[in-house]
Every structure is written in C-alpha cells, then in structure tokens.
Structure 1
C-alpha cells in the first residue's frame, strides 16, 4: 500500500503537481536504506536535495563600500599617471619627420611606365584569381536547372489536388 502511494506521489512530482508536504514524504521515503528496486534511480536525487538543503555559505561578504571606492580611485590615478608617461615618451622618442612629402607622394616608382607595368601585372593576377572563383560558381547554374524542374512538381501537385479535391 505504501509503495502504491509513493508511486502516485512520484507521478505527481514528475508532473509538478505535488505539495511541499507530499515532497517531504518522498524525501523521507528515499532517505531510508531500503527502497523498492525499481525506484532506486530516484534515491540519489532526493538525497541530493536533503544534503543541499543543509549547505550554508560561510565566506565573509565585504560590506564596506567606502574602502572599495578608495581602491578604485587609487587605481584610476595610477592609470592616469601611466597614460601621461606613455605620451611623454612618445613625444620624446618621436621619429624624425620625412624630409619631403613629395618623395612619397607618387609611390616608389620614379618612372611612370614602370608603375603602369606593375599595375597591369597586379590586375592580371587579380583577374586570374577572380576567374578561378567564377569557375567554381558555375555549378550553381545546374542547381538552378534542378529547382526549375521542382517547379513542375508543384504544378503536378496542384493538378492532383484539383482531381482529388483536397
């Protein structure tokens, strides 16, 4: 008789329909050493609930926020000092300026024909890579043909739905 009531309580527990008193009955039953063999799988769950209920948090909580704020302000002051030092070192060790802007204004080629040859060589290389990419995408045309044939299947389905009056 007790086993039937425990099974009914377990069914209610799994559906989320038990009261706290009924859950306490389940915990008491599964805390025993002898449990029905087919209900052994529930025993670890209910023993875990009993053990975890007794756990307590013992670590002290720092509730003094003033000391925390003081540390925060202290850290920000040192970050500001470090930023100023970095700026000063950056200005002090600054590399000398380029003597003339015109030297770098047109690139590294002095002869315009050399620059044109280099640009055409680079454009040919880009074109070759682009053509390789396009050749791998050509398979999409076959996919498009396949999807067109699937469109015919939709027409067949609509015709059969008219015939069978779905």
Structure 2
C-alpha cells in the first residue's frame, strides 16, 4: 500500500501537482534504506534536495560601495560648475548689451556697413535665383500641356457631334 502511495505521489510530483506535505513524504521515503528497486533512480534527486538545504553562504555581502558615493559627489560638483558658468556668462552678456547698442556715430561708416550687408544679401539671393532658373522651362512645358488639353477638348466636341 505504501509503495502504491509513493508511486502515485511521484507521478503527481512529475506533473507538478504535489503539495509541500506530499513532497515531505517523498523526501522521508527516499531517506530510508529500504527503497523499491525500480524507484532507486529517484533517490539521488531527493538526496540532492536534502544536501542543498544544508548549504549556506558565508561570505559578507557589501551593501554600499565607496565608488557610487564618490560618483554622486562628482555629479553634484559638475552641475555646480555648469550652473556657475551659465550664470556668469549670462550676467556678462547683459552688461555688454546694456552698454553697446550697436550704433555707429560716423554716418559715412554706417552707410558703408549697410552697403556691405546689402551686397552680401544680394549675392545670396542671386545664387538662389540662378538655381531656380530651370523653373522657366517647366512653365514652358506646362504651356505645351495646356495646348494638348485644348486639342483634346476639340476632339471630344467632334466625336460627340458624330454620335
């Protein structure tokens, strides 16, 4: 009767349907010396579980490392340096804008600077206009297509009158 019960529990164990109490019964059975010959293959499995329960980890586990602490201080220092740099650069720009409005006192010099700027803009615009010169040929092609549409309309009129 005990052997049938053990075989039934082993079948449930292989299917993953056993409870903790049933697994404890299996472990107790395989710890004995008297085991059925056809069940000897299961003995090392349950002996392994018993041996693995006795294993313990004895090394210390470090919870904090000094490296991460140093890393956090390094990031705080980097952020502080960046913020100071932005602050001093922005305060320097405000003072230069307030003092220098970009006006030129000499009228002739101001006129020459405006002419230089307008010539630079004109050169850039002329370059752009030269690259879109092919659009004129596109317009010519579209006009030709317009003539084809007129020809098609006239043929439609002719064929409609014949029907």
> What is the TM-score with the length of structure 1 in the denominator?
0.41
More helix by share: 2
Q: Could you state the TM-score of these two structures normalised by the residue count of structure 2?
A: 0.41
